[in-house]
């Protein structure tokens, strides 16, 4: 199998990510607005923004969002979405957690991070953010919760079966494999400058079509078009076939979670 850098994998997922990721529960933004009295004047950093899943909704609540991502394709998708929605108060910057100290971001009230936090040196980035986040501010980690927190929908097993057939049993990441961190984010935060940790969760039902499911699968770095290469079309054909055998009406229901970890200085 051809080796790919994480940047190549994420570049190939960008169009699918923007269209087929469900986004976070609207109650997350209501909580942040209330908790931090967001009134359209604050500055927020979205580190590892991807296509702006967090940045775009937050832009309506604050004065300015700095959206940082290492992958130009992700940033371009984010810019397109912002333009379509008439959002003009987001700066889309190329960079990552390792370049953050030299980026002259300036003070922010909140730093938000989504799934990208898994890929970072989690302890180091929190030390770096201690120099950026204002007094009274916070680090906010948004995710779908830790693996195993929710009972997975049974049709996800069908996807795993086909992915394993094409890509092997391990979740691939670039030229190696991805292992979910054994230590939960809360534990890392509790030894950081942002050691006061609160967690909020919201669960909601989601129904996908077969095209939605396939798009979602291609939005994942470990089943990305780059990872599949010239097997992509065959993979999609086989995946569609087994999904429709599982659900001939093409309806795929699941419960999805939004988990927000809000970490402040004690």
- pLDDT tens for each residue of 221-260: 788 888 888 999 999 999 999 999 999 999 999 999 999 9
Residues 6+ apart with CB under 8 A from 13: 218, 219, 220, 221, 224, 225, 226
pTM of the model: 0.84
Convert the pLDDT of each residue in 92-131 to its tens digit: 999 999 999 999 999 999 999 998 898 899 999 999 999 9
Burial code of 87-126, b = ≥16 C-beta within 10 A, e = fewer? beebebeebbbeebeeeebeebbbbbbbebbbbbebeebb
Q: How high is the pLDDT of residue 177?
A: 43
Whether 153 shows a pLDDT value over 50: the answer reads: yes
Q: Are 17 and 77 in contact (CB under 8 A)?
A: yes
Q: Which residues pair with 65 in a beta bridge?
A: 44, 90
Whether 176 shows a pLDDT value over 50: the answer reads: no
Q: How high is the pLDDT of residue 3?
A: 45
Q: What phi and psi, each to the nearest 5 degrees, are found at residue 50? A: 65, -125
Confidence of residue 169 (pLDDT cuts 50, 70, 90): confident
For residues 241 and 211, give the distance between their C-alpha atoms in angstroms, rounded to a whole number.
12
């Amino acid at each position: 199998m051809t080796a790919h850098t994480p940047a190549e994998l994420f570049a190939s997922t960008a169009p699918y990510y923007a269209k087929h990721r469900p986004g976070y529960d609207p109650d997350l933004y209501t909580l942040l607005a209330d908790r931090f009295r967001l009134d359209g004047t604050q500055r927020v950093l979205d580190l590892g923004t991807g296509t702006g899943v967090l940045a775009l909704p937050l832009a309506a609540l604050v004065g300015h969002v700095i959206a940082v991502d290492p992958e130009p394709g992700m940033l371009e998708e984010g810019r397109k979405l912002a333009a379509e929605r008439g959002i003009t108060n987001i700066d889309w910057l190329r960079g990552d957690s390792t370049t953050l100290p030299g980026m002259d971001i300036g003070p922010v009230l909140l730093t938000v991070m989504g799934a990208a936090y898994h890929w970072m040196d989690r302890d180091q980035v929190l030390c770096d953010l201690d120099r950026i986040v204002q007094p009274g501010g916070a680090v906010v980690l948004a995710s779908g919760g830790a693996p195993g927190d929710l009972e997975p929908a049974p049709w996800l097993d069908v996807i795993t079966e086909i992915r394993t057939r094409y890509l092997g049993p391990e979740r691939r990441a670039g030229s190696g494999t991805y292992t979910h961190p054994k230590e939960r984010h809360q534990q890392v935060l509790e030894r950081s400058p942002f050691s006061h940790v609160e967690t909020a969760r919201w669960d909601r039902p989601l129904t996908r079509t077969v095209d939605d499911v396939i798009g979602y699968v291609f939005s994942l770095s470990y089943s990305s078009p780059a990872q599949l290469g010239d097997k992509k079309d065959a993979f999609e054909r086989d995946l569609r076939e087994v999904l429709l055998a599982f659900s001939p009406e093409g309806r795929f229901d699941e419960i999805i979670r939004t988990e927000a970890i809000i970490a402040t200085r004690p």
